Amino acid sequence: MRGLDWIMLWTLSLIWGGSFLFNEIALQGLPPLSIVWGRVALAALVLWVVLWVVERKAPPRALWPALLVMGLMNNAVPFTLFVLAQGQITGALASVLNAMTPIFTVLVAHGATADERLTGRKALGVGLGFGGVLVMMAGEGLGGAVPAMLACLGAALSYGLAGVWGRKFRAAGVSPLATATGQLTASSLLITPLWLGIDRPWAMKWPGAEPVLAVIALATLCSALAYLLFFRVLASAGSTAVSLVTFLIPLSAAGLGWLVLGEVLDLRHLVGLALILGGLWLIQGRRRHAWGKQA
């Protein structure tokens, strides 16, 4: 990869790693659904402006049912589960569990596609990943952190399902920018009734400037700008290179959590992270030669 690609990749990892930090700040004054709704609705608005300037056309009407499913699996469900989980665990730990996303994607693709089957190397990587999760959960009771960690795993599984579902849009020739805009719009529509019914925003008190600014950062930086950076790196350096962000996000999230909030991962969490990253290396290592040809 070129130097500019590495800069964009590290920037993307900092932005997505920062989403866990912004979630924690937003939770100091806002309920979970308000955070998620603010993130997806504002991000959708920003991307509609960008889409109109760049492509001047909306996603085809026939694809909106599929976009609703994509918005549910890639935004509404995982965003909500992570925010709920971060009421009990740190953003650093949540980001480590988020690294299970490619491992779940491998399992979903094995069952749902004909061209992405499990190999011995992939199976070993999956085993290492789940071993890392078990190490992190060791010593935890049934309450407290365990439900939150399971919620993070549920979010990672939802991302994995979305990754396979997203193949529909590539096959239909829809641009990544249009797909991102459509899915964020769909997730906004799905969350709005729940947000109005549960959080009753008209009855809420002003949460303070910091939580509101955190939600704005989640929408503009961690969603809208992050998607644009992701697609830029994808076009410039290829899918194998951009997949490296999976390895970088936990490092960025842990570093930001330590720097801003003083959070420190326990030893078992670090061991679990090492096992998960080892599993990811095994799963993605088969494409190392292809990655080398991207430079």
pLDDT of residue 292: 34
| Cβ atoms of residues 68 and 223 within 8 Å | no
Neighbour-count burial for 39-61, b at 16+ CB within 10 Å, e otherwise: bbbbbbbbbbebbeeeeeeebee
Q: Tell whether the model's pLDDT for residue 85 goes beyond 50.
A: yes
DSSP 8-state secondary structure symbol assigned to residue 154: H
- Count each helix (H run) and each strand (E run) in the chain, helices first: 16, 0
Structure tokens at 178: 């249009």
Among the ranges given (16-20, 43-47, 148-152, 171-175), the one the predictor scored with the smallest mean pLDDT: 171-175
**Confidence band (pLDDT; 50, 70, 90) for 293?**
very low
| Segment holding 294, helix H or strand E | none
pLDDT of residue 285: 63
**How confident is the model over 100-124, as pLDDT tens digits?**
888 888 888 888 777 677 888 888 9
Residue owning tokens 């997730």: 187
Query: What is the pLDDT of the chain when averaged over all its residues?
Result: 86
What single letter denotes the amino acid at residue 92? A
**How confident is the model over 271-280, as pLDDT tens digits?**
988 998 888 8
Structure tokens at 165: 């579902």
The widest CA-to-CA distance across the chain, in whole angstroms, is 57
| Cβ atoms of residues 38 and 157 within 8 Å | no
| Cβ atoms of residues 92 and 253 within 8 Å | yes
Mean pLDDT, residues 197-206: 94
pLDDT of residue 53: 93
- Identify the CA nearest to 184 among candidates 49, 23, 37: 37
**Confidence band (pLDDT; 50, 70, 90) for 25?**
very high
For residue 88, how many C-alpha atoms fall within 13 Å in the half-sphere facing its CB? 15
Q: How far apart are CA 103 and CA 99, in angstroms?
A: 8
Please list, in sequence order, all residues whose beta carbon lies within 8 angstroms of the beta carbon of residue 15, skipping any fewer than 6 positions away: 221, 222, 225, 226, 229
Q: Tell whether the model's pLDDT for residue 144 goes beyond 70.
A: no
Q: How far apart are CA 5 and CA 229, in angstroms?
A: 10
- The pTM (predicted TM-score) of the whole model is 0.87
Q: Tell whether the model's pLDDT for residue 255 goes beyond 80.
A: yes
3-state helix vs strand vs coil in the chain, percent to 5: 80, 0, 20
Please list, in sequence order, all residues whose beta carbon lies within 8 angstroms of the beta carbon of residue 172, skipping any fewer than 6 positions away: 60, 63
Structure tokens at 96: 């480590």
Bigger pLDDT: 71 or 232? 71
DSSP 12-75: HHHHHHHHHHHHHHHTTTS-HHHHHHHHHHHHHHHHHHHHHHHT--PPPGGGHHHHHHHHIIII
**Confidence band (pLDDT; 50, 70, 90) for 291?**
very low
